[in-house]
Amino acid sequence: MNSRNNLPNSTPTTPTLTSRLPAVGTTVFTRMSVLAAQANAVNLGQGFPDFSCERSLLQAVNDAMQADFNQYPMMTGAPVLRHAIVDKIAAIYGHQYDVNTDITVTAGATEALTTAILCCVHPGDEVIVIEPSYDSYVPAITLAGGVPVLVPMQAGADGYSVPWSEVAAAVNGNTRLIVINSPHNPTGSVLRAADLDALADIVRGTDVLILSDEVYEHMVYDRQRHESVCRHPELAARAFVVSSFGKTYHVTGWKIGYVAAPAALSAEFRKVHQYNVFSVNTPMQHGIASYMSDPKPYLDLPAFYQRKRDLFRNGLKGSRFELLPADGTYFQCVRYDKISTQTEAQFAEWLTTEIKVAAIPVSAFYQQGKESGIVRFCFAKKDETLALALERLGKV
């Protein structure tokens, strides 16, 4: 008898899956962008430009495709792009990485961050995360079996700062990694040379590693310089430094970034990277490498975005929003306690649906949803987009 005839006559069911990330749902960025579209609001929530990249960059990628750079590149990245990265870091930050052993091109900065965490964090290892923080850090730590240790930034009249004494107190024999982010998303604060010195004092004599998220490295304002970990040899020797071409060249959808790290760290990073994504879009790597031969686009970026920052800040002067300092990134945080007693999520939703301008609640960048009465706007937008948003916000 055919055994199929003995099977129970029932509807097929999907087996139950135990989630690796049970606390993770749809991100606030996705929710607010959907709400903005539904409300026909100006979307100053999600962090991406609404303007185009330079046409010459597109032409460089097209030229690469026409030149048949269309097959798998090296797992570590196209050599021509790795050379360009090494040359840029040496020229700006004075640190010399090895093009063959120290640079890996990644599928965006988020892949770089996740891969760095997965390659060095083992079950039970503690990872210090400074909050508020970009939303991918803690899920990646959880996937690695690590234990996130959360240290909140201090928020005052002069903006946000890292309490290094609290970071030092959080370090113990189980600490594997400290994650830092400068320029900082969402607060727009930046680390200074004294901050890196304080971090070096904390990790000196330990085996603690550093993961430095520097995707907004070319967006530091008011004639200040970006204090990259690459500038600090003692920290660079134990750090994964992450950057993003998407942020720098206004092509966030291309999802191309890189990691710079000493050979021993890069070797472990590449073991995970090769089984994670293996390699990254070939013609775009060659196109970006060609485009990088002229440093002007990234050297001019601070002035480009500072003008937009100042336009947005000047437009909110005299409003009931309290502007927090915005020393870097393309984000502006504001207090709204003179306007509403709503929670940050409620206020952001109200702004989106009633005022028709979308923002992101800063509470979303805390694991426990800390309320501070602050929302974040993105000013990486066309001037006319910002003007429309300011007109509407001026009525609040």
Q: Is the pLDDT of residue 314 over 80?
A: yes
Query: What sections of 104-232 are H helices per DSSP?
Result: 108-120, 137-143, 164-170, 193-203
How many whole angstroms separate alpha carbon 78 and alpha carbon 365? 34
Rounded CA separation 357/335 (Å): 16
Residue 9 has pLDDT above 80, yes or no: no
Percent of the chain with pLDDT over 70: 98
How many residues are there in the chain? 396
pLDDT at site 147: 98
pLDDT at 29: 84
Instruction: Write the CA distances from 48 to 54, 130, 133, 367, 377, integer angstroms.
Output: 15, 23, 18, 23, 11
Alpha helices by DSSP H, listed for 67-153, are 79-93, 108-120, 137-143
Task: Assess contact for 77 and 105: CB atoms under 8 A.
Answer: yes
- Give the residue-averaged pLDDT of 186-201: 98
Tell whether domain 28-47+299-393 is in CATH 3.90.1150.10: yes
What DSSP letter does each residue of 294-325 carry, written as one string?
Answer: S-HHHHSHHHHHHHHHHHHHHHHTTSSPEEPP
pLDDT tens readout for residues 71-117 = 999 999 999 999 999 999 999 999 999 999 999 999 999 999 999 99
Q: What is the pTM of this model?
A: 0.95
Confidence of residue 157 (pLDDT cuts 50, 70, 90): confident
Kindly tell me if the per-residue pLDDT of 341 is higher than 50: yes
Fold of domain 55-292: Aspartate Aminotransferase; domain 2 (3.40.640)
Q: Give the model's pLDDT for residue 1.
A: 46
Is residue 174 over pLDDT 80? yes
Contacts of 29 (CB under 8 A, 6+ apart): 45, 46, 47, 135, 360
Residue 247: is its pLDDT beyond 90? yes
Q: Residue 105 and residue 284: Cα distance in Å, rounded?
A: 11
Give the tens place of pLDDT for each residue, 200-230: 999 999 999 999 999 999 999 999 999 999 9
Q: In the chain, what are the domain boundaries?
A: 28-47+299-393, 55-292
Segment 387-396 shows an average pLDDT of 96
pLDDT, tens only, 129-142: 999 999 999 999 99
What residues have CB less than 8 Å from 240, skipping those under 6 apart?
A: 112, 116, 209, 210, 211, 212, 259, 260, 261, 265, 269
Given a cut of 90, whether residue 4 has pLDDT beyond it is no
Confidence of residue 369 (pLDDT cuts 50, 70, 90): confident
Q: How high is the mean pLDDT of the chain?
A: 95
Q: Is the pLDDT of residue 330 over 90?
A: yes
| Residue 175, helix vs strand vs coil | strand
For residue 238, give every residue at least 6 positions away whose Cβ sits within 8 Å of its Cβ, in sequence order, or none. Answer: 203, 208, 209, 210, 262, 265
Which pLDDT score, from 0 to 100, does residue 6 have?
Answer: 58
CA angle 33, 38, 41 (to 5 degrees): 70
- Give rounded-to-5 percent helix, strand, coil for the chain: 40, 15, 40
Residue 214 near residue 240 (C-beta atoms within 8 A): no
Render pLDDT for 262-307 as a digit per residue (tens, 0 to 9).
999 999 999 999 999 999 999 999 999 999 999 999 999 999 999 9
Question: Is the pLDDT assigned to residue 61 strictly greater than 60?
Answer: yes
Residue 21's CB: how many other CB atoms inside 10 A? 11
